[in-house]
Amino acid sequence: MTQDSRAKNSMTQNAALVQWVEECARLTRPDQVIWCDGSAAERDRLTKQAVDAGVLLPLNHNKRPNCYLHRSNPNDVARTEQLTFICTPTKEEAGPTNNWSAPDEMYARMRTMLDGSMRGRTMHVVPYVMGPLGSPFSRVGIELTDSIYVVLNMRIMTRMGKQALDQLGDSGEFNKGLHCTLDVNPDRRLICHFPQDNTIWSIGSGYGGNALLSKKCFALRIASWLGKTQGWLAEHMLILGLESPRGEKTYIAAAFPSACGKTNLAMLTPPPTFKDWKVTTIGDDIAWLRVGPDGGLWAVNPEAGYFGVAPGTSYKSNLNAMKMVGHDSIFTNVALTPDGDVWWEGMDTEPPDGLIDWKGDAWKKGSKDKAAHPNSRFTTPMTNNPAISPMADNPQGVPISAIIFGGRRATTVPLVMESHDWTHGVFMGATMGSETTAAASGAVGVLRRDPMAMLPFCGYNMGEYFGHWLAMRRNISRPPKIFLVNWFRKDSEGNFLWPGYGENMRVLKWIVDRVNGRAQGVPTPVGVVPHAADIDLTGLEIAPDSIRRVLAVNNSEWHAEMESAAKFFGTIGKSMPSELAESCRKLVDDLDGAAAEERPAASR
Ligand code: OXD
Ligand code: MN
């Protein structure tokens, strides 16, 4: 059998696609090439194959129907930013925040490693659509992979199979993803993006964001570059819908760095006094945003499932997530109970005796090692989510009324504030940062600037990315309002000042009311901050001093903040838009001119 005939299929006549698959098969030389149709029969066949090979472990089907556990290689448990490259003709195009390599050099280096790399293995051709089928937002990708685990995860995370080939037709416009696990050796691991070629090559890892090429690689790094060249935005944002007791619907997109509770916010359960409000999920991680015919900003979630962090997920922190992972889910690197169920730290139940840890070893209660890996995950179809929005699959997307930026900050940033205008909102996003947690001592962790939560995911020069955000405003005649939030502010003893989780609904309500011109706020140099009386605190036990402090704007803290932000802008170099440096200078002048130390508390 020739390589070419091995790659033949009956699912598509798309010449460009068939030719590219054949080229990749000639390079990697798999024993067979299988085109995935996305059917239930195919899923069952691949699942059986994965179970037989020990790649998946069936869980207790009475407790968790159709659920499986996968244990990754212990050297392969997270995204590897240091091995992730943006390969553009010039270094300037990738910018100072990305690892860069010249495309020709990287292709040549990887080709050597890929040569014959699928011998003895099967190459799966995985066609997928990012975004609702038939939507003007949507894009088609093809991932070639030698991992059944990847195929089964892609089936949950994307609209995968024949439907993607139907949407592609005979167009040559598709993302070309080539993934090979090789020997899962960190020395032979590379995740490389070639934006100009709409191509991703990933080798040496089978894990999550490195291997499910639809997610961070395509839907953020490559798509952010497509968005820049085509006039739209690909963002690290959840999308949620809010319905008031009067039936008024508002859609919000929100960017937070990893581990700041994005999945929890996307499927929040409102507190009892807000029981007549409904929160629905459109997406928990990625948003693609375009200007709609009405001049507003509209968004879709390009994904079809959730790849959520398991530890910390509990009935208290995320009731909907606990319900949705009850069936038809794949778990990666969580602990296994003796009765074939899963367990992780922060689940709010005692670990049972006889637990097996994420590496497959017996785990003893009280052990200092975690039973579940801190980055262990669940993969779940979005249709499992009891709070899924009826608009989640809408080809037109949803109209976004508010954009939220947020990080984990022990000091400085108030619970919520609204930007003065679009440029100031972009400034808020560009300067956002998150601190590493500093246990109970209250000491402030290390601050990492993570603009728009996109630092690891922007596929081109960060300065140009800021410029693109500013330029988008010219086409948006009805821009959403932009807010900055911080659920994590602490007192001097290190206690959180705000309860977070479902109580964040109160902040969302203030945001909805601001969008609709109904709520008050106090203008300060850093933004419009609510007074305590402007937030609906009914039914919440919180000390008046805590709410005062969580909303306070402290001039000296903001001076330090702006000094640090200006330093960060300096690292971006000449592509940094002058408007944002100007915003920084103006804010410092306004702070100098401000008389009061804690304006919101003092002013009303
Ligand atoms: C994720 C991340 O996996 O942001 O979503 O790290
Ligand atoms: Mn993410």
Task: Give, for ligand 1, the residue of 216, 450, 457 to mutate: max count of ligand atoms closer than 8 Å to Cβ.
Answer: 216
pLDDT value of position 260? 87
Q: What percent of the chain has pLDDT over 90?
A: 91
pLDDT value of position 258? 83
Ligand nearest to C-alpha 255: 2
Q: Is residue 580 part of a domain?
A: no
Ligand nearest to C-alpha 374: 1
On whether the CB atoms of residues 25 and 34 are closer than 8 A, the answer is no
Asked if residue 594 has pLDDT above 90, the reply is no
Asked if residue 231 has pLDDT above 90, the reply is yes
Q: Is residue 349 part of a domain?
A: no
pLDDT value of position 593? 87
- How far, in Å, CA of 335 to CA of 327, rounded? 17
Ligand 1 nearest-atom number relative to CA 453 = 4
Three-class DSSP category at 350: coil
91 and 213, same domain (yes or no):
yes
pLDDT value of position 7? 53
Asked if residue 596 has pLDDT above 60, the reply is no
User: Which of 231, 246, 279 is the C-terminal boundary of a domain?
Assistant: 231
Q: Residue 113: which domain range? A: 4-54+80-231
Ligand 1 nearest-atom number relative to CA 257 = 4
On whether the CB atoms of residues 278 and 505 are closer than 8 A, the answer is no
Three-class DSSP category at 593: helix
Asked if residue 452 has pLDDT above 70, the reply is yes
CA of 59 to the centre of ligand 2 (A): 26
Average pLDDT over residues 68-95: 96
180 and 113, same domain (yes or no):
yes
13 and 47, same domain (yes or no):
yes
pLDDT value of position 445? 67
520 and 483, same domain (yes or no):
yes
Asked if residue 438 has pLDDT above 70, the reply is no
pLDDT value of position 600? 53
Q: Is residue 190 part of a domain?
A: yes
Task: Render pLDDT for 540-583 as a digit per residue (tens, 0 to 9).
Answer: 999 999 999 999 999 999 999 999 999 999 999 999 999 999 99
Q: Is residue 384 part of a domain?
A: no
Nearest-CA residue for atom 6 of ligand 1:
258
Asked if residue 13 has pLDDT above 70, the reply is yes
Pocket of ligand 1 (CB under 6 A): 209, 258, 285, 307
- Residue closest to 15 by CA, chosen among 171, 160, 140: 171
CA of 234 to the centre of ligand 1 (A): 15
Ligand 1 nearest-atom number relative to CA 285 = 5
pLDDT value of position 599? 52
Nearest-CA residue for atom 1 of ligand 1:
258
Task: Render pLDDT for 478-530 as a digit per residue (tens, 0 to 9).
Answer: 999 999 999 999 999 999 999 999 999 999 999 999 999 999 999 999 999 99
> Residue holding tokens 């808020």?
428
pLDDT value of position 437? 46
CA of 258 to the centre of ligand 1 (A): 5
Straight-line distance from the first to the last Cα atom of the chain, in angstroms, rounded to the nearest whole number: 81
- How far, in Å, CA of 137 to CA of 131, rounded? 6
Asked if residue 439 has pLDDT above 90, the reply is no
Task: Render pLDDT for 136-172 as a digit per residue (tens, 0 to 9).
Answer: 999 999 999 999 999 999 999 999 999 999 999 999 9
On whether the CB atoms of residues 203 and 189 are closer than 8 A, the answer is yes
**Number of structural domains in the chain:** 2
pLDDT value of position 370? 96
11 and 138, same domain (yes or no):
yes
Report the catalytic residues.
Answer: 260
Give, for 24, the enclosing helix (H) or strand (E): helix 15-28
Q: What percent of the chain has pLDDT over 70?
A: 95
Nearest-CA residue for atom 3 of ligand 1:
209
Nearest-CA residue for atom 2 of ligand 1:
258
Give, for 435, the enclosing helix (H) or strand (E): strand 433-435
Q: Is residue 162 part of a domain?
A: yes
CA of 141 to the centre of ligand 2 (A): 19
Task: Give, for ligand 1, the residue of 191, 258, 376 to mutate: max count of ligand atoms closer than 8 Å to Cβ.
Answer: 258
CA dihedral sign, ordered 603, 422, 221, 158: positive
Average pLDDT over residues 169-191: 97
| pLDDT confidence tier of residue 4, bands split at 50, 70 and 90 | very low
pLDDT value of position 136? 94
Task: Give, for ligand 1, the residue of 284, 309, 450 to mutate: max count of ligand atoms closer than 8 Å to Cβ.
Answer: 309
The encoded tokens of residue 35 equal 């085109």
pLDDT, mean over the chain: 94
Which CATH number fits the domain that encloses residue 415? 3.90.228.20
Asked if residue 15 has pLDDT above 80, the reply is yes
405 and 500, same domain (yes or no):
yes
User: Which of 181, 197, 231 is the C-terminal boundary of a domain?
Assistant: 231
Amino acid, res. 178:
L
| pLDDT confidence tier of residue 2, bands split at 50, 70 and 90 | very low
CA of 78 to the centre of ligand 1 (A): 9
| pLDDT confidence tier of residue 603, bands split at 50, 70 and 90 | very low
CA of 28 to the centre of ligand 2 (A): 31
Average pLDDT over residues 208-228: 97
User: Which of 557, 575, 599 is the C-terminal boundary of a domain?
Assistant: 557
Q: Is residue 124 part of a domain?
A: yes
449 and 510, same domain (yes or no):
yes
Long-range contacts of 269-274 (CB under 8 A, 24+ apart): 269/318, 269/319, 269/320, 269/502, 270/502, 270/505, 271/502, 271/503, 271/505, 271/506, 271/539, 271/540, 272/539, 273/536, 273/538, 273/539, 273/540, 274/505, 274/506, 274/509
411 and 267, same domain (yes or no):
yes
**pTM score, whole prediction:** 0.95
Q: Is residue 355 part of a domain?
A: no
